[in-house]
Amino acid sequence: MKNERFEKTYSQGAVNVTEIWVDKETGVNYLFHACGSSGGLSPLLDREGMPVITPVLNK
pLDDT score for 14: 87
Helices (H) and strands (E) in the chain, counts: 0, 4
What single DSSP character describes residue 18? E
d(CA 31, CA 10): 9
Q: pLDDT tens digits for 4-59?
A: 999 999 999 988 999 999 999 999 999 999 998 999 999 999 999 999 999 987 65
Q: 3-state DSSP: the chain helix, strand, coil percent, rounded to 5?
A: 0, 55, 45
Mind giving me the DSSP string for 24-51? Answer: TTT-BEEEEEEETTEEEEEE-B-TTSPB
pLDDT score for 2: 73
